[in-house]
Amino acid sequence: GKGQHRHFMLKEIFEQPEVIGGTLNTMLNPAERTITLPTLPFDLASVGRVRIIACGTSYYAGSVAKYWIEKVARLPVEVDIASEFRYREPPMEPGGLAIFISQSGETADTLAALRYCRANHQHTLALVNVPESTISRESEATLLTLAGPEIGVASTKAFTTQLVVLACLAVGLGRARGAITRETEATICQALAETPARIAEFLRRDDEIHQIAQGIAEARDVLYLGRGTGYPIALEGALKLKEISYIHAEGYAAGELKHGPIALIDDSVPVIVICPTDELYEKTASNVQEVMARGGRVVFFSDQEGVGRLATPAHAAMALPTVHPFVAPILYAIPVQLLAYHVAIAKGTDVDQPRNLAKSVTVE
Ligand code: F6R
């Protein structure tokens, strides 16, 4: 049941420290600060390219993984939406690694893409939340998210557990290829091990998000901006808001702002910014100044240092716990989930059963 929570979605958001911890435990040794992937039926060291295929929120998890795998394993990664990939019928060099991310393990387009990759001699790896699902059964190997059953139609804990598995996979690929130093692996492991506690810490500030949400419920359009791994989090935030509050929202790479979407900005458009302190902080902060100069109502998600460094104070700002930039997308997923939830509550929509949506899309 929902326990003390009003909706499954809220319960599942609050379960994240626990299920992320449980998922990490399957691969991460916190004392040694190492990651051990399950034995796979193919050699990760000989993989020359990676393709990640999924739909919806799972596609955004794959989009974060692209940055991670390229960075720590120095492997080229392509991410595809399953419904595009399957009909494009792209040429594939035999021996590549194809990863299929799906909470349900039953999404029709993702399954069709898996069958295409098998027929084209790719190594296939499923990342699912349902071990006995079709996508798991038809893949050569499976990595599991231990999110437990996800009842809310809007995916939350499945997403963040997908992210931690993908982070571990990136490290595992990096090690197999000799692309990552022992020290970097230890640093990432330490950051991952601390993530459940950082999320739990942030969840205690739910009332602050509730406050921010009151100013967004009246908006007609909302923009989400981010860079690097913050970009797919911006896309995910926009999707969550659309799904459950029915407010039109768009996620953009912050650097794309001046190539079009800045034309939308006036004082009626809330702009949600994902901006942890990392090597791209200044770039995004300068986009924020451009938005504010045009009257945009900026909601700034950063850390204490990042909030402090902003030249003009944002309309609203939250300093999240400071984390290593590698794990920032996992933590910054939480405020965008909570924001969508509280905006939907303010609007009185059906959070767990949004109109027109099904939990599992087993037909095209
Ligand atoms: C968004 C959402 C959907 C799913 C998508 C893929 O909140 O839930 O976008 O992520 O339908 O589903 P799975 O992961 O089951 O393949």
Summarised one tens digit per residue, pLDDT across range 203-223 is 999 999 999 999 999 999 999
What percent of the chain is modeled with pLDDT above 90?
95
| Ligand 1 atom index nearest CA of 57 | 10
Please answer whether residues 145 and 102 qualify as being in contact, where contact means their C-beta atoms are separated by less than 8 angstroms: no
Report whether residue 104 contacts ligand 1, using a CB cutoff of 6 Å: yes
Q: How far is the CA of 115 from the centre of ligand 1 (A)?
A: 19
Which stretches of 179-280 are DSSP H helices?
A: 182-203, 206-214, 230-245
Pairing verdict, β 97-102 and 123-128: parallel
CA of 361 to the centre of ligand 1 (A): 8
| Closest residue by Cα to residue 177 from 45, 43, 39, 37 | 45
User: What is the pLDDT averaged over residues 75-99?
Assistant: 96
The arrangement of strands across the sheet holding 270-274 comes to 248-253, 221-226, 270-274, 297-303, 316-320
Please report which confidence band the pLDDT of residue 363 belongs to, taking 50, 70 and 90 as the band edges: confident
Query: How confident is the model over 70-82, as pLDDT tens digits?
Result: 999 999 999 999 9
Sequence-distant (6+) residues with CB within 8 A of 146 are: 19, 22, 23, 26, 129, 161
pLDDT at 360: 83
What residues are labeled active site? 359
Element (H, E) at 150: none
How many whole angstroms separate alpha carbon 291 and alpha carbon 286?
9
At 84, the pLDDT band (50, 70, 90 cuts) reads very high
Q: How far is the CA of 304 from the centre of ligand 1 (A)?
A: 33
Give the DSSP per-residue string, 284-298.
Answer: HHHHHHHHHHTT-EE
* pLDDT at residue 304 tops 90: yes
Could you give the CA distance from residue 308 to residue 137 in angstroms, rounded to a whole number? 50
From the centroid of its chain, how far is CA 84?
Answer: 20
Q: Which atom of ligand 1 is nearest to the CA of 56?
A: 9
Average pLDDT over residues 229-239: 98
Cβ(336) – ligand 1 distance below 6 Å: no
Q: Compute, in angstroms, the gap from residue 241 CA to the centroid of ligand 1.
A: 14
Mean pLDDT of 298-321: 97
134 lines ligand 1 (CB under 6 A): no
Give the per-residue pLDDT at 259.
96
Please tell me if the CB atom of residue 360 comes closer than 6 angstroms to any atom of ligand 1: yes
Q: Quote the mean pLDDT of the chain.
A: 96
Whether the pLDDT of residue 226 is over 90: the answer is: yes
Q: Whole-model pTM above 0.80? A: yes
- Residue-wise pLDDT for 244-255, tens only, equals 999 999 999 999
Here the tokens at position 38 are 């399950």
Q: Sign of the C-alpha dihedral, residues 346, 352, 355, 357?
A: positive
pLDDT digits (tens, 9 = 90+) for 47-64: 999 999 999 999 999 999
pLDDT at residue 361 in the model: 84
User: Does the CB atom of residue 361 touch ligand 1 within 6 A?
Assistant: yes
Pocket test for ligand 1, best of 361, 363, 364 (most atoms within 8 A of CB): 361
110 lines ligand 1 (CB under 6 A): yes
DSSP-based three-state secondary structure for 278: coil
241 close to 339: Cβ distance less than 8 angstroms: yes
The mean per-residue pLDDT over the stretch 156-171 comes to: 98
Residue of the CA atom closest to atom 3 of ligand 1 = 56
Residue 72 has φ and ψ, to the nearest 5°, of -95, -20
Tens-place pLDDT, residues 2-45: 889 999 999 999 999 999 999 999 999 999 999 999 999 999 99
Checking ipTM against 0.85, whether it exceeds it is yes
